[in-house]
Amino acid sequence: MQRRRTFTLGTLAGAALTLACPLRAQTWPDKPVRWVLSQPPGSGPDNVARILGERLGKLWGQAVVIDNKPGGQNTIGAQAAARSPADGYNFYFATTAALVTNPLLFKQLPYDPQKDFVPAAFIARSPFALLVAGNSALQSVDDLIARSRAEPGRFTIGNEGPRTFSGMIARLFNARTQAAANLVPYAAIGVGTQDLMGGHVDAMVADLASTAALARQGKLRLLATTSARRVAGWEQVPSLAETLPGFDMVGWFAIVAPAGTPVAVIERVNRDVNALLGDKEVAERIGAIGPIADGSMSLDALATFLRAESARWAAATREIGILPE
């Protein structure tokens, strides 16, 4: 009799726990939701996150709080997000560098992208561009290659450093074109673009989100985007793949959550973010900054995408001879 009673109570307890999960999903969120970013306020990722956070806050009836933790090539923000409670109220608005390229560049990281996070939603692709000053005599990628070969070591291409996204793109460009350009690192892209406009460097590799406004003002000129195809809104600008077949090095943003976050909450975030990215006004606002919104990925599709990106960037780092340090 005692055994049957124990079994019955255990069954009821299990049923209660089973019911609690959908109920928790139905009531989520009942307090503000925190998004950690590895970039400072006013950066491209920050601007995109705030557009989405504002709209999601209205949908959820709770504020989406943007928590900027820049520095350390994304490691500070990623570590903070990874160590956050997996309660459905903490997420990481991540970049390609944080989830894919950092593990290829550093022997030791204070976080593990694969073990510490689970995918929640894809946000947008963020193409990079090869740029020159608006008054530069260089009008095309072919012009730039010819000039760099004619002035080996003197022709300069600015970037954010050899172990950053723009730096690796610049090195790939150098390798595949045999351009022999001198790659000049900058601690901040804003400083680099100022030097570019001032004539202190000849060209620059930078993300479109950070340079789009200056390009539209005519202060910078895009010679090519680093994507496989021309970028929506910049159809007049060729892609590097048109000169270098197969070249496709594009950054992106995705939302991930600390491992152990309730699945029902992650599914809700994926559904709501995808719906929001399908809104024409939201997509246009993000596009005006530079990135291309993409709300098409399910959770499974996002997981597959992240694995493919890890493999692709691993091959790229081998090509240019970068080893973890």
Instruction: Tell me the mean pLDDT in the region 48-60.
Output: 97
In angstroms, the CA 292 to CA 46 distance is 15
pLDDT band at 48 (very low <50, low <70, confident <90, very high): very high
Give me the numbers of helices (H) and strands (E) for the chain, helices first please.
13, 10
In angstroms, the CA 48 to CA 255 distance is 12
- CATH of the domain spanning 29-126+250-319: 3.40.190.150
In angstroms, the CA 162 to CA 105 distance is 10
Burial environment of residue 264 by CB neighbours within 10 A (0 to 12, 13 to 18, 19 or more) = middle
pLDDT for res 182: 95
pLDDT for res 239: 96
Compute the chain's Rg from CA coordinates.
Answer: 22
Residue 69, SS3 per DSSP: coil
First to last CA, the chain: 65
- Percent of the chain past pLDDT 70, that is, above it, reads 92
Backbone angles phi, psi at 181, to 5 degrees: -75, 150
Backbone angles phi, psi at 220, to 5 degrees: -125, 155
Count of CB atoms situated within 10 Å of the CB of 25? 16
pLDDT tens-digit readout, 106-122: 989 999 999 999 999 99
**36 alpha carbon, distance to own chain's centre:** 13
Residue type at position 206: A
pLDDT for res 75: 94
Residue 250, SS3 per DSSP: strand
Which residue ranges does the chain devote to CATH 3.40.190.10? 127-242
pLDDT band at 24 (very low <50, low <70, confident <90, very high): low
In angstroms, the CA 114 to CA 164 distance is 20
In angstroms, the CA 109 to CA 101 distance is 12
Of all helices (H) and strands (E), which one includes residue 117? strand 117-133
Of all helices (H) and strands (E), which one includes residue 183? strand 182-185
pLDDT tens-digit readout, 221-277: 999 999 999 988 899 999 999 999 999 999 999 999 999 999 999 999 999 999 999
Torsion angle, alpha carbons of 13, 15, 17, 23, to 10? -140
In angstroms, the CA 217 to CA 202 distance is 19
Mean pLDDT, rounded, of the chain: 90
Residues with Cβ within 8 Å of residue 222, at least 6 apart in sequence: 129, 130, 131, 208, 211, 215, 234, 237
Pairing of strands 220-225, 203-207: unpaired
pLDDT for res 25: 54
pLDDT tens-digit readout, 104-162: 989 899 999 999 999 999 999 989 999 999 999 999 999 999 999 999 999 999 998 88
pTM comes to 0.82
Instruction: Tell me the mean pLDDT in the region 96-110.
Output: 92
In the beta sheet, which residues pair with residue 118? 257
Of all helices (H) and strands (E), which one includes residue 206? strand 203-207
Of all helices (H) and strands (E), which one includes residue 301? helix 299-319
In angstroms, the CA 64 to CA 169 distance is 33
Instruction: Tell me the mean pLDDT in the region 29-47.
Output: 93
Backbone angles phi, psi at 182, to 5 degrees: -85, 115
Whether 11 shows a pLDDT value over 70: the answer reads no
pLDDT for res 8: 35
In angstroms, the CA 116 to CA 173 distance is 33
Which residue ranges does the chain devote to CATH 3.40.190.150? 29-126+250-319
Whether 26 shows a pLDDT value over 90: the answer reads no
pLDDT for res 191: 94
Q: Which CATH superfamily is domain 127-242 in?
A: Periplasmic binding protein-like II (3.40.190.10)
More confident residue, 290 or 245: 245
pLDDT for res 2: 41
In the beta sheet, which residues pair with residue 56? none
Residues with Cβ within 8 Å of residue 145, at least 6 apart in sequence: 177, 179, 243
